[in-house]
Amino acid sequence: MYNQNSPALEEQTPSHVPMSDDDFIQLGTGEVAYLRPIGPHELGTLFPQVPAISGHVLLYALFNADGTPMMLADTKDALMANAFENELQMVSTH
């Protein structure tokens, strides 16, 4: 909607400040977490201390906002309870 009392476009101050990649990565670290299903083929990379699992097992991992894996479980409920206990804000990923 046009408002004739608004300053010209070139006179307006941007309402956002660009974030660096590093700033964006740190956004929510230690406060925000997400979970996602993972397959056995990802265990070695995400959780190298966990022994290899064969077969078609579906596991769930809890990740910090910066993508660092934090916990592994066989149910979403276990991860959500852990996030709640640690006062982490769960977010949805798409």
Rounded mean pLDDT for each run of 10 residues along the chain, 94 residues in total? 55 61 62 89 91 88 89 93 87 72
DSSP string for residues in the chain: ---TTSPPGGGPPPS-----HHHHHHTTTTTEEEEEEE-GGGHHHH-TTSPP--SS--EEEEEETTS-EEEEESSHHHHHHHHHHTTPEE----
Give the model's pLDDT for residue 88.
85
Q: How far apart are CA 63 and CA 9, in angstroms?
A: 41
Q: How far apart are CA 30 and CA 34, in angstroms?
A: 11
| This prediction's pTM | 0.66
Give the model's pLDDT for residue 48.
92
- Supply φ then ψ for residue 62, to 5 degrees: -100, 130
Give the model's pLDDT for residue 63.
92
Judge contact between 27 and 19, C-beta under 8 A: yes
Give the model's pLDDT for residue 52.
87
Give the model's pLDDT for residue 67.
86
